Chain A
């Protein structure tokens, strides 16, 4: 008489219960790993040499997750150089962003009414909420850096050359996806930082000839960013760009496996590609060597992110988005500073020798009828990216040797230097020394902005509430307010004002020599004070003027820690 489990009973009778359970568990484990028993996996993690026949190729041939991974690498690509593991790290960060992103998604509603409140809830009422948000944000910025470095490495080692042109092309697509992913996530907290950065970003689209307003309308869902725009950016961020990313990662990685990781240039004859012809003695097995190496890199990356977020890093959250109030010195995210720098070029003509950019603008305005904003932002900016896409198709040099590629490598260096220079020009302080890209208002208002910035903390808010003394104090070098902290703050303001009197800013403006200031502290409520900075100065027309800026400071607002 046969019944279900007869075999099991028989096995228990012959080998005993313990051995049967162990054998059955190992069976299940082997099915799970697509071919590796518990002992095989232990062997991998202990670095044992493989048995013969090698059971470790089975997951590659039979399982899904490893089917795209090669069973061995060339020894020469397993050292730090030439890959620096940047491609792997890009994929690791992408996965990491998906995991932390799903966590944050649970607590988020893409609506202007709720989004900012959700952020406050994540920070104040969700266990691990702030940690996850910091990780997600820092991971996103890290991913932009790593993907960019990955591209730079590929350029420097000439790995974009035949037969890997299309791999490079998909890689640039992934760089664009990374930037757009980061940028679309920027809007979601619905704070001032987000709102104005994205307003600047999408207003670029507005400048596209002919279809600009339509593109802008598609992006924003309305003439201005509002509920429609937020929902669209949310969908870009969590559906469209991740989907494009996953598809292109698959294509990109398929190409990497198909052609192999390119060897260091000096190891191959010119024009030859031997990445896939690995002699047996040069093979490094995927298991155990590559997989442990990758796990190590992923582990170290996660640990660095976790330590950073537990210690020094805190994702910024500014005031609630306000379409009616543009904060001073609004900037795009840092990875788009170069674009902002490009847009500033026409305003910076007086600072350039001979007004080169001005001539360029006039030429394009006269010949093609383009405004500077269209020319620099919509034509030159995307052209730089187009250049990246076509690099492998326009580079005729078959050699990957550094010595043979002086032109291309110099071109790359100039490109990188230009991007860095433009990025510096993109921030409000401009490029050091030359002052290119400096934007600043009246020097007196810059004193206010330096000490009470519209957004962010600044020295006034960073000084603890308890260090303030109620009263009206003149700004001078020897303040005597009875509070060491307030004295220090007043001295700082004094030094700042003196510096602005002595040195003209890059636009040639100085604070008038007769300028005086005062700092007033008023008690508004028992735990709320108002701090007012006043600067009396003579303006450019010789008229006596006054600039005032104030902020409110609550005893418990905790800016000190930020």
Chain B
């Protein structure tokens, strides 16, 4: 009899049936006992893992939606949005685990900001509330616009789970907050009407450049405080005149410039960035790392030399 035939005609004896059945039942019972014994600890470990993944998912949401006003490091942007990573806002926290591996957040230094505005709930709840429903009334002229409503049910782009994730991300800054002196802090309640510098009047050429900035579609990707639409794909140009000066002095610029002579003045740098956008890619954009090829490379053909001069003149004046 071939082995094949032996297998297909196999009929387990009575003893084999009873024994196999019993052993299977014992195996099932031991597996259940094994799982049951350490289940609480395993559940807690897994809960901490999912908390960690919520921070990861929240980081993605933060860089897509929040960084354009609150800064890529949560440091805040003048006139756009206050710091979220500052010790004043997030305080200082520690992650602690008990014997059963249950993780919880221990508040070492509570948020000064919540105390200031009189919010009685948790920081996490405050972040969720503000992100979801925005801030309905203007209490300060420190920011150009009120916090928008990001929650889906208030017409915003984010679902509830994304808002909870981004709150996890921001609370997580509390493990190592930015010192307050490196952050843009919001004014205390009642002190919001700070004097704002009178804008320097623009020359006619600069006015023409400003009009070009809005007409040529720059606002689709870039933002200048108080001018036209506020794009969020490319770098913010509110202080580009000052930034350009810092850039040309930086080592990163000198080391990473490709195919173009290094600019020596802010105006040259700006002109170079418009005509040859790929010559130098800055490391940080509102949505994380900046990409090459995002900016069209044909602006030299789209504008007359005079128009280009006006635009560069205008942008250089922004400091």
Contact = CB atoms under 8 A, between A and B. Distances in A.
B50 A527 contact: no
A337 interface: no
Nearest to A112: B159
B7 interface: yes
Given A127-B39, A556-B49, A557-B52, A296 B20 contact: yes
**B interface, by DSSP: helix, strand, loop or mixed?**
helix
Interface residues of B, number: 55
Nearest to B161: A320
B27 A307 contact: yes
B35 A289 contact: no
B39 A128 contact: yes
Interface stretch (B141-149, B172-180, B197-205, B230-238): B172-180
Contact of B288 (A123, A293, A530, A544): A530
25 contacts: A47-B15, A80-B8, A81-B9, A127-B39, A292-B14, A296-B17, A303-B27, A306-B28, A320-B57, A525-B169, A525-B172, A525-B175, A525-B176, A527-B55, A528-B172, A532-B289, A545-B292, A550-B289, A552-B55, A552-B57, A552-B60, A554-B52, A556-B51, A557-B52, A558-B52
A445 to B, nearest CB: 13
Nearest to A289: B14
Given A299-B21, A525-B173, A80 B10 contact: yes
A548 B25 contact: no
Contacts of B59: 524-525, 528, 530, 552
A307 B31 contact: yes
Nearest to B62: A524
Interface in A519-562: 520, 524-528, 530, 532, 544-546, 548, 550-558
Contacts of A320: 57, 159, 161-162
B49 A300 contact: no
Given A303-B28, A528-B59, 19 more contacts: A47-B14, A47-B15, A47-B18, A80-B9, A113-B160, A116-B161, A125-B47, A126-B43, A128-B36, A129-B43, A292-B17, A292-B18, A299-B21, A306-B27, A524-B59, A526-B176, A527-B172, A554-B56, A557-B49
Interface residues of A, number: 56
A520 B9 CA distance: 62
Nearest to B57: A319
A79 interface: yes
A11 interface: no
A375 interface: no
A124 interface: yes
Given A128-B35, A546-B293, A557-B53, A80 B20 contact: no
Contacts of B56: 528, 551-554, 557
Contact of A127 (B40, B49, B57): B40
A241 B25 CA distance: 30
Interface in A414-447: none
Contacts of B60: 552
A300, A302, A554 interface centre (most CB from chain B within 10 Å): A554
B83 to A, nearest CB: 14
A320 B9 CA distance: 50
Contacts of A125: 43, 47
A129 B50 CA distance: 15
Nearest 7 A/B pairs, CB to CB:
A81-B8, A299-B24, A558-B49, A526-B176, A554-B52, A124-B47, A303-B24
A131 interface: yes
Interface of B: 7-12, 14-15, 17-18, 20-21, 23-25, 27-28, 31-32, 34-36, 39-40, 43-53, 55-57, 59-60, 159-162, 169, 172-173, 175-176, 278, 288-289, 291-293
Contact of B289 (A126, A306, A548): A548
A306 to B, nearest CB: 4
A310 interface: yes
A120 interface: yes
A459 interface: no
Nearest to A554: B52
A292 B25 CA distance: 13
B288 A79 contact: no
A287 B152 CA distance: 63
B128 to A, nearest CB: 14
Contacts of B25: 299, 303
Contacts of A78: 11
A113 B161 CA distance: 8
A79 B35 contact: no
Contacts of B24: 296, 299-300, 302-303
A288 interface: yes
A288 B12 CA distance: 13
Contacts of B51: 556
B175 A124 contact: no
